[in-house]
Amino acid sequence: MTMIEAVRSAMDVSMARDDDVVVFGEDVGYFGGVFRATQGLQAKYGRTRCFDTPISESGIVGTAIGMAAYGLKPCVEIQFADYMYPAYDQITQEAARIRYRSNGDFTCPIVLRMPTGGGIFGGQTHSQSPEALFTHVCGLKVIVPSNPVDAKGLLISAIEDPDPVIFLEPKRLYNGPFDGHHDRPVVPWSAHALGDVPDGHYTVPFGKAEIRRPGTDVTVIAYGTMVHVALAAAEETGIDAEVIDLRSLLPLDLDTIVESVSKTGRCVMVHEATLTSGFGAEVVALVQEHCFYHLEVPVIRVAGWDTPYPHAQEWDYFPGPLRVGKALQDIMKG
């Protein structure tokens, strides 16, 4: 499966297992979503369980919150992560607070699916990576898969979770394989690296990172698209890098990070979002706090530019294997 097919399969499996699961958003019903992630779901489950909404993110999320408080399990698509800002008040002030404000009398089991990051030359308003805006909010969970197998298992876990989950789907990985060396999908996926996506129900737990490449020289921490870039950089430089795929930003698997950095003594943090106040800054602070006496050199961050997302220079904007490879070489020089 591609990631699109895996995401669709997760919703299909969940809707078949639980009549309370509903799917909606802009164009997700009849049209099947702008990326076709919900294609066929309305025909299979009807217009009361998979339906289109007005172009109003605040209204979409507000409706989902009301449904969740009533007992339903909405899996909502925000067409692009860039469009979530009108709904930010509903997400942070309502969805994230309901359990606490009601002393546990109400919960908010909603999933907000958002295509995130670059890869389609979408420019400033279709390419943002806003994960740090959500990891700062108590009461939310934030998930970013890097491959179809994880995408399906993590999304099923999100739909079954009793609290709100922000599910960020890297659209550069949507419609085909990506090996990290190029700015276009490359066919086929490595079956050895990813395996086949099971057809039925399975889950991938939150708060557990995955070591995609074991190594002893340096720890590279990444998530989403940047996992593949980090793997390519390690291969191209020949440096024995241990690549950690976080998968779950909130909750964060700190144990795996600490164990790896304590072993290697070096750490490179990679993400596509802008550098300043990015999620990587939080990870670097935790590494410094927990691994200070193991570090041989300062931690290096490799991230997007501190500018609005450029259209023409998309590949230069987010870290590629050259930029990540240079960071690996620099940190090994010490």
Give 190's pLDDT tier (boundaries 50, 70, 90). Answer: very low
Six token digits for residue 289: 């706090």
Q: CATH: 3.20.20.70, 3.40.50.920, 3.40.50.300, 3.30.1450.10. Which one for 210-333?
A: 3.40.50.920
3-state secondary structure at position 21: strand
Mean pLDDT along residues 210-230 = 96
pLDDT at res. 318: 82
Q: Do domains 3-194 and 210-333 have the same CATH topology?
A: yes
Given a cut of 50, is residue 187 above it in pLDDT?
Answer: no
How far, in Å, CA of 41 to CA of 29, rounded? 7
Question: What crossing angle do the helices spanning 3-17 and 148-160 adopt, rounded to 10°?
Answer: 30
What is the rounded CA–CA span in Å between residue 92 and residue 106?
16
Mean pLDDT of 134-141: 97
Region 154-178 average pLDDT: 91
d(CA 247, CA 251): 10
Q: Which CATH code is given to the segment(s) 3-194?
A: 3.40.50.970
- Domain spans in the chain, listed from the N-terminal domain onward: 3-194, 210-333
Bridge-partner residues for 166, per DSSP?
Answer: 112, 142
pLDDT computed for residue 313 by the predictor: 76
Q: In this model, does residue 206 exceed pLDDT 50? A: yes
Give the residue numbers marked as catalytic. 126
Please determine, for residue 188, whether its predicted confidence score (pLDDT) is greater than 70. Answer: no
**What secondary structure does DSSP assign to 174-212, as a single string?**
SSS---SSSSS--SS--HHHH-PPPSS-----TT--EEE
| Residues 1-35 pLDDT 10s | 999 999 999 999 999 999 999 999 999 999 999 99
Q: What is the pLDDT of residue 12?
A: 98
258 near 178, Cβ under 8 Å? no
